Structure 1
């Protein structure tokens, strides 16, 4: 355990990225509307995330390149290559700018439980904290800051779930017996989209090569990925469990969840959830601009460090847009929910690109996918396509 804590790294940053206000919002909705019955969707999401993130990490370590750079290098047609770069840049950079407003608004909501008097300053304060952590440009400081916040968030949400005294039998049934209750398909796609985040695949491939340089490090990277994502998945499940305790009323975010739990479990639940939401928001507020900067670096082939002005310019733009839109008091909940569903629909396309890359001998050599890994990946892609088609049919 001590050795793992010492080697902890990119996997935790991936967990920090996917447990943001969007995850809290959708998990809260899932718990309030459908009880424990959608816990299986989170279990599926955790398995899918581990499978896909391991492939991304393996690609990053073996090639010592970002995922976008590897994809770009394998497309021989200039037209198709430019289309791929445009799609990747558009999906990640523009998408993360939209997310950032939700991340900062979510972290601000977490601070509301400690007083709404200075609420107008919360987005700017959070933006400054994220700016300082990113501007330092030291990978170890960035990593340790996020690890501490993820642990704080995890403890907060897990204790809150325990306070609600959940029905263990019903939890196990909901986790291992897949059911699709009426009107739940959009929430299911959202739960998958908020956990298996396409931009995390690009972020992970870039982060692992900051920490690990040789093929011998693959085992450490794999262990880091599995433990971190399982922990992140447990946190998401505890939010669903906590939200199940609320009967009636509308819950659109963790602040509503905190208010709903307060009459049942007192102020402790409110403060625990406030701390958890603040940590969830600020970790995602740091990782979303970072992911956008790494993708831009990879797409344009910059030989840039964390302190490079071009790299900094990208994350600064994303961060500033997030602070501005958050300060304008635009409703982030609808935007976040739509973004998570869009993520769930976009995921099969990104996953197909990734599976294509990890099966190329000229890219990964003997470290390319095994038959078992391909079967798992194809099953995940098929499930996400089926759910995506059902979701589109439901909407239209």
Structure 2
């Protein structure tokens, strides 16, 4: 087991990516509004994510290709290839640039508003600068270890919080294993799944897995890494839901700011509650602010046939664009609404598209050899794709208000 812990890495990047400020907010609102009843949706999300991410990691380890490489080689029709490429760049690059502002803003959410310079929050600049240095140095193992540290901080913060609030274990068990959708909870269920099953993580996982593991015999470590890391990420999210359920009593309340959350937790966690939870938000925002530019660089480089190397200037330009855009938007307090709406539509389309492509690729014996999907995994994969289609419709509808 000690050796397997040393093998953790690419899966942790995935966990670090999906536990961002958006996930923390969604989990908090879910626990506050519906108590323990939607824990099963998070359990389903974890299982779905493990299924898709295992396929992605297996692709990287067995073939040495990323998802973008496989899409480029597998898609022969020019019109379909052009549509796919445009969708990937729009959703992953432009979308992540817009969302990066939220990652950076969320990272400093719990630390108040320090004295600003010409209206710019210096903490955002500091986090942006550290992110830039980590990515520019380009040491994969350094980035991997730093994100492992951030995920560990999140695990400690939110797990300890969940224990301190003394939740009802019987309600946790029933919430996990008895699927119930209360009135007006459907969008929350889809929201929990949507913040966990993230399209850009499929690109990130395959690309990082092919760097860490170089031969087929190491596939077992990639699978352990995926199962342990994604499960840990799911547990962290569940701990947030549980803490919020106890703190807010499972009633419909209004949570408009970090202060609202910390005030409600104050009677339970004491005078240190604000600082404690602030570090959880910092780790969540910081980790996502690193993985979003990195995933965008991998996806773009692979889909366009560039060299996906940390030393490549094309690779650096992509992650630099995403990071700089996020720093500017978050520093100025500007919310690029139209860009985010466009990104939501593109992500709503790309999630099922990439999931279908991935299932197609990992069933191709000319690419995967004897490591194609089993029938059981294919059945689970089709179920997950149906869910991603629902997520896609929901995401497009929330952006455009079609129905």
**Does residue 289 of structure 2 align to residue 288 of structure 1?**
no
**Does residue 95 of structure 2 align to residue 95 of structure 1?**
yes
1:164 Cα deviation from its structure 2 partner: 1.2
Contact 1:22–1:336, Cα closer than 8 Å, also in 2: no
Q: What is the TM-score with the length of structure 1 in the denominator?
A: 0.93
What's 2:184 paired with? 183
**Does residue 49 of structure 2 align to residue 49 of structure 1?**
yes
1:269 Cα deviation from its structure 2 partner: 2.3
Two-structure CA RMSD over aligned residues (Å): 2.4
What's 2:363 paired with? 359
Deviations 1:82-109 (A, max 9, x none): 2111111111111111110010000010
Q: Report the number of matched residues.
A: 394
Instruction: Sort the Cα spacing of 1:303 and 1:342 in 2 relative to 1 into closer, same or farther, 3 A.
Output: closer
**Does residue 248 of structure 2 align to residue 246 of structure 1?**
yes
Contact 2:297–2:318, Cα closer than 8 Å, also in 1: yes
- Cα separation, 2, equivalents of 1:92 and 1:123: 22
What's 1:79 paired with? 79
Instruction: Sort the Cα spacing of 1:304 and 1:264 in 2 relative to 1 into closer, same or farther, 3 A.
Output: closer
1:7 Cα deviation from its structure 2 partner: 1.2
**Does residue 108 of structure 2 align to residue 108 of structure 1?**
yes
What's 1:20 paired with? 20
Which deviates the most, 330-339 or 12-21? 330-339
Deviations 1:315-364 (A, max 9, x none): 11100100111112246999989978975664322211111111111110
- Cα separation, 2, equivalents of 1:174 and 1:146: 30
1:5 Cα deviation from its structure 2 partner: 2.2
3-state SS of 2:37 partner = coil
**Does residue 197 of structure 2 align to residue 196 of structure 1?**
yes
- Cα separation, 2, equivalents of 1:337 and 1:187: 19
Q: Could you tell me which of 305, 313, 319 is aligned with 2:317?
A: 313
Deviations 1:229-281 (A, max 9, x none): 00000000001111112246422465542232123432222222111110010
Instruction: Sort the Cα spacing of 1:345 and 1:280 in 2 relative to 1 into closer, same or farther, 3 A.
Output: same
Contact 1:254–1:277, Cα closer than 8 Å, also in 2: no
Contact 1:194–1:344, Cα closer than 8 Å, also in 2: no
**Does residue 220 of structure 2 align to residue 219 of structure 1?**
yes
**Does residue 279 of structure 2 align to residue 279 of structure 1?**
no
Q: What is the TM-score with the length of structure 2 in the denominator?
A: 0.91
- Cα separation, 2, equivalents of 1:290 and 1:123: 18
Contact 1:193–1:347, Cα closer than 8 Å, also in 2: no
Instruction: Sort the Cα spacing of 1:345 and 1:173 in 2 relative to 1 into closer, same or farther, 3 A.
Output: farther
What's 1:36 paired with? 36
Instruction: Sort the Cα spacing of 1:275 and 1:83 in 2 relative to 1 into closer, same or farther, 3 A.
Output: same
- Cα separation, 1, equivalents of 2:90 and 2:373: 28
Contact 1:189–1:391, Cα closer than 8 Å, also in 2: no
- Cα separation, 2, equivalents of 1:337 and 1:81: 24
- Cα separation, 2, equivalents of 1:81 and 1:8: 34
3-state SS of 1:183 partner = coil
1:117 Cα deviation from its structure 2 partner: 4.3
Instruction: Sort the Cα spacing of 1:68 and 1:380 in 2 relative to 1 into closer, same or farther, 3 A.
Output: same
